[in-house]
């Protein structure tokens, strides 16, 4: 294990310890707060299934642009496996399993897989900034540091829009972060002329953000914490930026911290946001750990990857 991996796992361990300490110190507050209304539990466990399905449709749409047709079992099952793998490995390791399957079963080049993922991240992050900006304007000065938050979001959205409109003039050295940046620009160069594909991808990603917002809204409601849906949507979209931070498995700890911080910004409260983020994580993980192994077996049981 090299020093970078040691640093990442050390950061992950420190994050877990800090989170555990915070929960211990505030255990009395959380015991009063975390009283889940049982009527919401079926919906909290069901919405992640739709979330997985949407991402599966996104992957299906992307590979179809390269002439590859996936069955229902493949596109849904591979996303279940991907989400499950992301919990077990850092740096979104579950995507590696999907890439390996597509390469061996459908001869889909790893380079094409990585570049399409990069292009998706570019579109996803632009949409996150744009939708979040609209939400922040809608909410108004109820958001703490309203002006700075809106400026940052608009700046990020405008910068990404410029990158999407104007071709990047040169290539970075293929090292570390710059290698990932090259993949993003290469992926965008491949699909930017296919407007129908971009529209499909954008529509799926917008639907995905709405679904995440619904899941968060259900979590707030399950804990009897009132919040306008537009605030839940603002939190969901800003969380889209955390997809760029792939340090811990499934962004464990990162996503919870930002959910709590964003809840504080929209006037709900840090502790309440942390409780909601934990509930969202538990329900998402429960669904993932049920479907991941099941569909892993179903997808690979009759698959000859050497063919």
Residues 164 and 126 sit within 8 Å (Cβ to Cβ): yes
Query: What are the phi and psi torsion angles at 36 (to 5°)?
Result: -80, 135
How far, in Å, CA of 285 to CA of 203, rounded? 25
Residue 159 in tokens: 């910068």
How far, in Å, CA of 307 to CA of 106, rounded? 9
Q: Give the confidence band of 257 by pLDDT, cuts at 50, 70, 90.
A: confident
Domains of the chain, by residue range, sit at 71-300
> What per-residue confidence (pLDDT) applies to 142?
72
Residues 116 and 197 sit within 8 Å (Cβ to Cβ): no
How far, in Å, CA of 130 to CA of 154, rounded? 7
Report pLDDT digits (tens) over 7-36.
555 555 665 566 566 555 555 555 545 678
Model-level pTM?
0.83
> What per-residue confidence (pLDDT) applies to 237?
92
Residue 70 in tokens: 């996936």
Q: Give the confidence band of 186 by pLDDT, cuts at 50, 70, 90.
A: confident
How many CB atoms within 10 Å of residue 258? 19
Residue 204 in tokens: 């799926």
Give the residue-averaged pLDDT of 229-242: 90
């Amino acid at each position: 294990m090299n020093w970078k991996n040691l640093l990442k796992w050390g950061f992950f361990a420190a994050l877990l310890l800090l989170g555990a300490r915070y929960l211990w110190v505030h255990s009395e507050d959380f015991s009063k707060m975390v009283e889940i209304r049982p009527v919401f539990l079926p919906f909290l466990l069901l919405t992640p299934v739709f979330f997985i399905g949407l991402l599966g449709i996104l992957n299906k749409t992307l590979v179809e642009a390269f002439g590859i047709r996936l069955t229902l079992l493949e596109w849904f099952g591979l996303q279940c496996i991907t989400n499950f793998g992301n919990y077990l490995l850092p740096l979104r390791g579950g995507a590696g399993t999907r890439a390996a399957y597509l390469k061996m079963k459908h001869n889909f080049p790893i380079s094409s897989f990585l570049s399409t993922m990069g292009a998706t991240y570019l579109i996803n992050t632009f949409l996150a900034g744009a939708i979040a900006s609209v939400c922040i304007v809608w909410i108004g000065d109820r958001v703490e540091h309203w002006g700075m938050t809106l400026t940052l979001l608009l700046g990020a959205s405008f910068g990404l829009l410029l990158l999407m409109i104007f071709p990047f003039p040169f290539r970075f050295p293929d090292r570390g972060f710059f290698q990932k940046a090259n993949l993003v620009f290469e992926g965008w160069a491949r699909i930017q002329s296919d407007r129908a594909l971009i529209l499909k991808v954008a529509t799926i990603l917008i639907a995905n953000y709405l679904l995440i917002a619904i899941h968060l809204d259900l979590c707030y409601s399950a804990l009897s914490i009132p919040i306008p849906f537009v605030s839940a949507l603002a939190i969901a979209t800003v969380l889209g930026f955390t997809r760029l931070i792939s340090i811990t498995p499934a962004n464990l700890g990162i996503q919870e911290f930002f959910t709590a911080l964003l809840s504080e910004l929209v006037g709900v409260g840090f502790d309440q946001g942390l409780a909601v983020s934990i509930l969202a994580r538990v329900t998402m993980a429960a669904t993932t750990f049920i479907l991941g192994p099941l569909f892993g077996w179903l997808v690979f049981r009759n698959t000859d990857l050497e063919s």
